[in-house]
Amino acid sequence: MQPPRSLIEVAPRVYQVRLRGTSSFLLLDSRVTIVDTGTVGSGRRILEALNAAGRRPDEVEQIIITHYHPDHMGSLPELRQRLGMRTAVHVLEAPFVEGRLPMPNVFPRHRNVLSRVAQPILERWPFTPVPVDLVLHDGDELPVLGGLRVVHTPGHTPGHVCLYVRDLALLVVGDALQYRRGALDLPSRVFTEDMDEARRSVAKLALLEVQTIAFSHFRPVQRAGSEHLRRFALEVAPAG
């Protein structure tokens, strides 16, 4: 069967599921890990993609959330209800996902300029809290595809994580980086809480041996990932 166009093979056993304006990832090991869940209402498409990849819902072991923005965990409550799998979130963002702290404004900068735009979006964001079963820390390694390392990359949000699969030289960067006109770029200023932190996080990613970089909002870069990262880290290094 030909996989649907919305399913991109990023690396062996790793698929990017293209959703409305964002992505989810399927990591196919003996069990399945889903990374991010798209906006509210994306659950059905993720399950269709899982089926197209030849796996069943009862094989899903966990969902890892890269960060708490609505285009990354909008369908978490829905999927959790349907699949009952465990949820993994960085320690700094778990209190928001669990509803112990109110979800922060997703437009930290330009609050005044964008308030008219932001308000309707926030009103459509009645996030149902979800229990976090696995609290992630920098350097944690999960037994997925030979070892999936959690890399804490604050900046875009305080508890943003990238995921590094050493055996595949694969780095899933979520929103820590963008890819425009053939080059890496910092995360969008409008949606990013601390640009200096975001720059420091790029330097951290440049230390990894990477072939493939997978982004939430762009197609993957499938070769020479480290060269891209190291060149870009020098470009954006904070002064001093």
What is the contact surface with Zn ion in residues (CB under 5 A)? 69, 71, 175, 216
Instruction: List the Cα angle 193/195/199 in 5-degree steps.
Output: 135
In the chain, the amino acid numbered 151 is V
Least Å distance between CB 22 and Zn ion? 6
What is the closest distance, in whole angstroms, from the C-beta atom of residue 216 to Zn ion in the complex? 5
CB of 125 to Zn ion, least distance (A): 13
d(CA 4, CA 52): 7
Residue placing its CB nearer to Zn ion in the complex, 145 or 215? 215
CB of 30 to Zn ion, least distance (A): 29
Q: Which is nearer to Zn ion, 28 or 186 (CB)?
A: 186
- Least distance CB 21 / Zn ion (angstroms): 8
Q: Which is nearer to Zn ion, 157 or 212 (CB)?
A: 157
Closest separation in Å from C-beta 99 to Zn ion? 19
Nearer to Zn ion among residue 16 and residue 28 (C-beta)? 16
Integer CA distances (angstroms), 89 to 68, 110, 143, 237, in order: 9, 27, 16, 28
Structure tokens at 88: 């993994």
Q: Looking at beta carbons only, is 61 or 194 nearer to Zn ion?
A: 194
Please give the angle made by the CA atoms of 87, 88 and 90, to the nearest 5 degrees.
Answer: 145
- Residue from 81, 75, 8, 87 nearest 37 by CA: 75
How many whole angstroms separate alpha carbon 207 and alpha carbon 177? Answer: 15
User: What is the nearest approach in angstroms of Zn ion to the Cβ of residue 146?
Assistant: 27
Report the alpha-carbon distance of residue 9 to residue 12 in Å, rounded: 7
Contacts of residue 212, defined as CB under 8 A and 6 or more positions apart, other chains included, come to: 10, 11, 168, 169, 170, 171, 220, 221, 222, 223, 225
For Zn ion, the closer of residues 6 and 211 by Cβ is: 6
Residue 205 CA to residue 236 CA, distance in Å, equals 13
For Zn ion, the closer of residues 69 and 145 by Cβ is 69
